[in-house]
């Protein structure tokens, strides 16, 4: 999307810059500021895990937690598409820690859990020191039986305001049951955010395109003075 915008801007900005000295300079500046603001939005998206660790006794593969398959609403809590267990609540019980391989700005979660339990979700930058991110309460969600998909994205049809959180920088996300009927289940946990690793890296092509745009405007302005 951003690259498409820059492609368009490469045509629009020079034309704007050549439309009169003062007005052109102002419009040129606005075009550049708009370009920068578009870039500063960042490329938030689905974060891909590099691994997952677990503790406790549970059924099925931990890969089911991030395989992209979200169990249907109201589907059974102990099924081939879920990781499920009995009792063992708290961080010292059954817990799953997903490693995303690098620090990123965590915006949103999409999660599928058994509807009649509470689950805590923590985050960490180093995999050792965890802070509380959010907690799913027993009454959260929109179903009264089986698996319930919930999102912290306010534009999602599965949005649950109670579990929304302010963005944080994280590399690891940990989830475990904190209470309920003793039968717990996770069908999916997806994290959405923006990587932070490229902040000091070599400019990407899209950034280079922006610098080219700035340079082009400067040349046009110089020629008209």
Return the number of the residue (26 or 74) whose C-beta is nearest Ca ion. Answer: 74
Please compute Rg for the chain using Cα positions. 23
151 binds Ca ion (CB under 5 A): no
Q: Residue 48: how many CB atoms within 10 A of its CB?
A: 10
Return the number of the residue (35 or 82) whose C-beta is nearest Ca ion. Answer: 82
Distances (CA, A) of 225 to 16, 26, 77, 211: 16, 14, 72, 21
Shortest distance in whole angstroms from residue 84 CB to Ca ion: 9
Q: How far apart are CA 19 and CA 115, in angstroms?
A: 60
Q: How far apart are CA 151 and CA 214, in angstroms?
A: 39
Shortest distance in whole angstroms from residue 95 CB to Ca ion: 16
Q: For Ca ion, which stretch binds (CB under 5 A), given 29-37, 47-55, 88-96, 174-182?
A: 174-182
Among all chains, which residue has been given the structure tokens 């550049």?
Answer: 32
Q: Residue 1: how many CB atoms within 10 A of its CB?
A: 8
Return the number of the residue (62 or 207) whose C-beta is nearest Ca ion. Answer: 62
Return the number of the residue (99 or 142) whose C-beta is nearest Ca ion. Answer: 142
Residues, the chain, total? Answer: 225
186 binds Ca ion (CB under 5 A): no
Shortest distance in whole angstroms from residue 122 CB to Ca ion: 20
> Which one of 6, 31, 47, 64 is in contact with Ca ion (CB under 5 A)?
64
What are the residues binding Ca ion (CB under 5 A)? 64, 67, 69, 114, 116-117, 141-142, 148-149, 158, 180-181, 183, 188
């Amino acid at each position: 999307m951003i690259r498409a915008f820059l492609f368009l801007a490469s045509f629009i900005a020079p034309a704007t810059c050549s439309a009169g000295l003062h007005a052109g300079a102002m419009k040129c500046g606005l075009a550049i500021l708009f370009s920068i603001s578009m870039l500063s939005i960042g490329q938030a998206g689905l974060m891909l895990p590099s691994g997952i660790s677990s503790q406790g006794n549970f059924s099925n593969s931990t890969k089911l937690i991030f395989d992209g398959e979200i169990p249907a609403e109201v589907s059974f809590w102990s099924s081939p598409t879920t990781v499920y267990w009995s009792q063992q609540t708290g961080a010292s019980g059954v817990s799953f820690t997903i490693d995303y391989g690098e620090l990123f700005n965590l915006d949103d979660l999409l999660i599928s859990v058994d509807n009649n339990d509470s689950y805590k979700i923590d985050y960490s930058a180093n995999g050792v020191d965890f802070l509380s991110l959010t907690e799913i309460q027993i009454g959260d969600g929109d179903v009264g039986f089986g698996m319930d998909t919930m999102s912290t994205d306010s534009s999602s049809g599965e949005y649950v305001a109670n579990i929304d959180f302010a963005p944080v920088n994280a590399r690891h996300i940990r989830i475990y049951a904190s209470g309920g009927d003793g039968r717990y289940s996770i069908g999916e946990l997806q994290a959405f955010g923006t990587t932070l690793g490229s902040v000091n890296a070599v400019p990407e092509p899209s950034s280079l395109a922006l610098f080219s745009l700035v340079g082009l405007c400067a040349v046009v302005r110089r020629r008209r003075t």
